[in-house]
Amino acid sequence: MKRVGIIGIGEYLPKRILTNQDLEKMVDTSDEWIATRTGIKERHIVSNGEATASMAEKAARHALEDAKIKALDIDLIIVATITPDMPFPSVASIIQHNLGARHAACFDISAACAGFVYALSIAQQFIACGTYKFALVVGAETLSAVTDWEDRNTCVLFGDGAGAAVLSEVSSGGILSAYLGCDGSRTDLLYIPAGGSRNPASKYTVETRQHYIKMQGNELFKIAVKTMTEAAEIVLKQAGLRFSDVDLIIPHQANARIILAVGKKLGIDEDKIFLNIEKHGNISSASTITALCEAVKGGRIKKGDIILLDAFGAGLVWGACVIKW
Ligand code: UT7
């Protein structure tokens, strides 16, 4: 099996920013409640006809530039998203055409907030066994399109954005281990009731607001802390490492309190935990990859560092990954 690593990364966040103060004018909430309960101060929201594929494409272009490869070199595109432009075709197909990556096989995956870690692990297999040379993995979401802007329980949490990574064989470091999991018994905790084959769109589903995210935050909070802690322990053990070996944890950014609780359970210093939720909110599958981009850009990661990605989301799904940068 070949050793596989990330050779280029990129992100795109829409220019428009929605602050907690803006939300105070929309629902019965306060900057103080949002900031102390979640750590979020603002989030990026699409405008001017932007949607998931257009953001995914922009992030992908940055990643290709960073990797110094051409679109025609890509053999595989996987887009992790729960907010594709439309049910089909895939966002991956749309960006294949727009990028000019016509040699690439393309598909989307749905693994919610663990989507990027899932997609990374899938792409790793294709390269490790020699099927493909270069893979483009994207996490992209337009959660603002499925957010109920009248529901204060959820509308303060989510944002839009995209991140991308190019994977290929590397001579040292790279992805040391990955671990994916799911508990399908609690799909009721976070979901969109209508718009699929079970409850197709109708006047009734629109009037009863069933096309928006429904969430039982309290219950999810506890499961997220437990699951992300366990996933981090398992994936690190698989890599033959200890927590003292980890230079930076990049967790899914759903809630700063969840992240800090996981860090505390693992006995990890807060300065080794990357947080960017304040400026982005929860961008589901785009969360860990945009955080990785910003950690690199901000000089928080240097060559040889051990990075731990750790994510949890609707499904319920979780995934963790250890990378030697
Ligand atoms: O992305 C992966 C999956 N998602 C998650 O893992 C999210 C996990 N859950 C969370 O992050 C938190 O549970 C939330 C941020 C969603 C909620 O925080 P909480 O501390 O669990 O609050 P709560 O749901 O227990 O609500 C506490 C109170 C309630 O009022 P009462 O019933 O105590 O009077 C809510 O109605 O806060 C109220 N509340 C709000 N107040 C002001 C809920 N949303 C708001 C709001 N502004 N936006």
- The per-residue pLDDT for range 11-21, each reduced to its tens digit, is 999 999 999 99
Nearest CA to ligand 1 atom 47: 29
**What values do phi and psi take at 25, rounded to 5?**
-85, -10
- Of 106, 113, 293, 321, catalytic: 113
For the question of residue 276 being annotated catalytic, the response is: no
Determine which helix (DSSP H) or strand (DSSP E) holds 94, and give its type and residue range: helix 91-99
- E-strand ranges in the chain read 4-12, 17-19, 42-44, 76-80, 105-109, 135-142, 160-169, 174-182, 190-191, 214-215, 248-251, 306-313, 317-324
User: Does the CA dihedral 302-306-312-315 come out positive or negative?
Assistant: positive
Look at residue 121 and tell me whether its pLDDT is greater than 90.
yes
Task: Give the length of the chain.
Answer: 325
- In whole angstroms, give the CA distance from residue 162 to residue 57: 9
**CATH class of the domain whose range is 4-171:** alpha beta
Give domain limits for the chain: 4-171, 176-324
Distance 11 CA to ligand 1 centre (A): 29
Residue-level pLDDT at 232:
97
For the question of residue 106 being annotated catalytic, the response is: no
Counting ligand 1 atoms within 8 A of each CB, the residue from 38, 110, 151, 153 with the most, and so the one to mutate, is 153
On the CB side of 180, CA atoms within 13 Å amount to 13
**CATH topology agreement for domains 4-171 and 176-324:** yes
Average pLDDT over residues 171-198: 97
- The per-residue pLDDT for range 142-167, each reduced to its tens digit, is 999 999 999 999 999 999 999 999 99
- The per-residue pLDDT for range 45-67, each reduced to its tens digit, is 999 899 999 999 999 999 999 99
User: Does the CA dihedral 268-269-270-271 come out positive or negative?
Assistant: negative
Residue-level pLDDT at 48:
87
Distance 64 CA to ligand 1 centre (A): 39
Residue-level pLDDT at 66:
98
The verdict on whether omega for the bond into residue 251 sits within 30 degrees of 0, i.e. cis, is no
- The per-residue pLDDT for range 252-308, each reduced to its tens digit, is 999 999 999 999 999 999 999 999 999 999 999 999 999 999 999 999 999 999 999
Distance 31 CA to ligand 1 centre (A): 13
- The per-residue pLDDT for range 21-40, each reduced to its tens digit, is 999 999 999 999 999 999 99
Task: Tell me which DSSP letter residue 319 carries.
Answer: E
Three-class HEC string of 216-242: CHHHHHHHHHHHHHHHHHHHHHHCCCC
User: How much is the mean pLDDT over the chain?
Assistant: 97
For 169, the token pair is 């064989």
User: Does the CA dihedral 235-38-111-280 come out positive or negative?
Assistant: negative
- Which atom of ligand 1 is least distant from the CA of 224? 6
Amino acid identity of residue 156, one-letter, is V
Look at residue 43 and tell me whether its pLDDT is greater than 90.
yes
- The per-residue pLDDT for range 185-219, each reduced to its tens digit, is 999 999 999 999 999 999 999 999 999 999 999 99
Could you give the dihedral angle defined by the CA atoms of residues 255, 239, 108 and 252, in that order, rounded to the nearest 10 degrees?
10
For the question of residue 113 being annotated catalytic, the response is: yes
- In whole angstroms, give the CA distance from residue 105 to residue 204: 38
- The per-residue pLDDT for range 55-100, each reduced to its tens digit, is 999 999 999 999 999 999 999 999 999 999 999 999 999 999 999 9
Could you give the dihedral angle defined by the CA atoms of residues 78, 322, 277 and 32, in that order, rounded to the nearest 10 degrees?
140
CB 136 within 8 A of CB 60: yes
**CATH class of the domain whose range is 176-324:** alpha beta
CA-to-CA separations, 128 to 5, 141, 315, in angstroms, rounded? 10, 28, 27
Residue-level pLDDT at 152:
97
